[in-house]
Amino acid sequence: MPPKKHNNKIIKKEKDIEKDVEKETIDIDGKTRCEFASIIYKKKKSEIMLRYHDKRWCKPIHEENELYAMLVLETMQAGLSWLTILEKEENYRKAFDKLNPVIVAKYNAKKIEKLMQNPGIIRNKRKIVSIINNAKAFLKVQNEFGTFDKYIWSFTDRKTIDHHRSKKDEMPAKSELSEKISKDLKKRGFQFVGPISIYSYLQGIGIINDHNEFCDFR
């Protein structure tokens, strides 16, 4: 049976929408990127966001200190934009001993007060304390599993979940996987690890690949 004319119109409209979306995500360097990176770049002229999208986002991470560092950055995002965190990333690495969990886990009250005076980071005491708390929890996971890498990647049998997002797909804020990992992390004493933050974390360390199909940096 030939397709109905009405359906053809719908298909054509969807294809037109896809073309419009792809056109909007072509940047001045001629590269096509995911919507969020292009939109933020065009509004904020943020080279930091472009570099993050192009070279780091959804790229697998297995190095222990970087797994902890990304967890810190993602948990700091709560209530803020990711661009704000990226702009402060180097400040965090400098203030927190290169975000080395072995060192951070030993921070005391005096160190916390010093960090509260640092204008280069978010001076929220609960968040600062959570960075130290999560370093301790991170080391406990390492002790139990050998590495945090073995633990976090075990949830997907060490495979990246590629959602193959089309041009019109909306990016989810959370998933069953992020809900599951969030619950387990909370049980292990981690803080600021809700399912939305953990979904972003899974993207950040490459367990989830949410680059659009048309993106040149998949």
Q: Which of 41, 57, 82, 92 is catalytic?
A: 82
Q: Is 151 a catalytic residue?
A: no
Q: Any binding-site annotation on 58?
A: no
Q: Is 74 a catalytic residue?
A: yes
* Diameter of the chain measured on Cα atoms: 76
Q: Which of 41, 57, 68, 74 is catalytic?
A: 74
Give a three-class secondary structure readout of the chain: CCCCHHHHHHHHHHHHHHHHHHHHCECCCCCECCHHHHHHHHHHCCHHHHHHHHHCCCCCCCCHHHHHHHHHHHHHCCCCCHHHHHHHHHHHHHHCHHHCHHHHCCCCHHHHHHHCCCCCCCCCHHHHHHHHHHHHHHHHHHHHHCCHHHHHHHHHCCCCEECCECCCCCCCCCCHHHHHHHHHHHHCCCCCCCHHHHHHHHHHCCCEECCECCCCCC
Q: Any binding-site annotation on 6?
A: no
Name the residues annotated as catalytic.
Answer: 52, 74, 82
Annotated binding site: 34, 53, 211, 215
Annotated binding site for Zn(2+): 34, 53, 211, 215
